[in-house]
Amino acid sequence: MTENGVKTTGTDRRVLPTSIVYDATLLQSLPADLSVASGLNALAHCVDSMWGPRADPIERALAEEGIRGLRAGMIGLVDGAGGLDAIEQTLYGAYLAAVSFASAGSGMHHKICHVLGGMYDLPHAQTHAVVLPHVLAFNAPGAPEAAARISRAFGSQTAVAGLAALRRAVSAPRALKDYGMPEEGIAAAVPPILAAIPTNNPKPVSTDDLTALLRAAWEGDEPR
C-alpha cells in the first residue's frame, strides 16, 4: 500500500489463498519485455533470500534452484525456442522464489525498491530489474557462500558475471531514469533506505555507498 509517497507491506493469514494455479498457457500472450522484467523481479526474490533477515540453508537451496529455473526459462522465452516449456521453467523458478522469500524476508534489494517505488511511483517489476545487479555487486563480496550458490545457478565464474550475461541475453531494463525517477530523487531516497536496510546485510552500507549505487542505477551504468 502506498500513501503520501511511502510504501508499506503487511501479512495476515486472512489473505492467504487456499490454492494457486500456475498455468503456462495463460502467459503465452504476455509481451516479452514484461516477461523479462517480471522474471528478473522473481530472480531478485531469490537473491534477497540468500541474505534476508531470516535466511537459512533451506531458503538458500530453494533460491539457488529458483535462479537456475528462471535463467533457463527467460532465455527460452526471449529467443522463442522454448515455447510452453520455457514458461513452465519460469513459473517453476518463480514459485521457488516466492517460497524462499516468504521465509527469508526482505533484504537490501527489496528495501531499496520499496522506498523508490513509493516515493516516485515507479513500475514495480522494471524497478527491481534495474536495481538488482547493483545490489548483487555490492553485497556479493560480503557473502561468499551465497555468491557461490548464485554463480553455480547461473553456470558462471562469478555471481555478478552470471547475472550480467543473463541481462544481456534478455535485453533487461537498465536505468531508473527511463521509468520516471527524477535525478534529484537520489539524495532524497538515501535516508529512508538506510533506515530500512536490515542490520544483518552482508556488508555495512554508508551514505556514500548507497548514493553511488543509486546513481549508477539511475544512469544505467555497469554495476561497481
Residue 23 belongs to some domain of the structure: no
Please state at what angle helix 207-219 crosses helix 185-196, rounded to 10 degrees.
130
Section 144-149 average pLDDT: 97
**CB proximity list for 60: less than 8 A, separation 6 or greater:** 49, 50, 100, 145, 146, 149
| 199 has pLDDT over 90 | yes
| 63 has pLDDT over 90 | yes
Residue 68 belongs to some domain of the structure: yes
Domains: count for the chain: 1
Residue 177 belongs to some domain of the structure: yes
| 207 has pLDDT over 90 | yes
Residue 140 belongs to some domain of the structure: yes
Cell digits for 14?
A: 486472512
Section 98-125 average pLDDT: 95
**Which pTM value belongs to this model?**
0.92
Cite the DSSP H helix spans in 105-154.
108-120, 124-139, 144-154
pLDDT digits (tens, 9 = 90+) for 20-32: 899 999 999 998 8
**CB proximity list for 37: less than 8 A, separation 6 or greater:** 123, 125, 126, 128, 129, 172, 173
Residue 2 belongs to some domain of the structure: no
Query: Residue 110: which domain range?
Result: 30-219
Residue 114 belongs to some domain of the structure: yes
Share of the chain above pLDDT 70, in %: 100
CATH number at residue 209: 1.20.1090.10
Residue 203 belongs to some domain of the structure: yes
Residue 19 belongs to some domain of the structure: no
Section 165-172 average pLDDT: 96
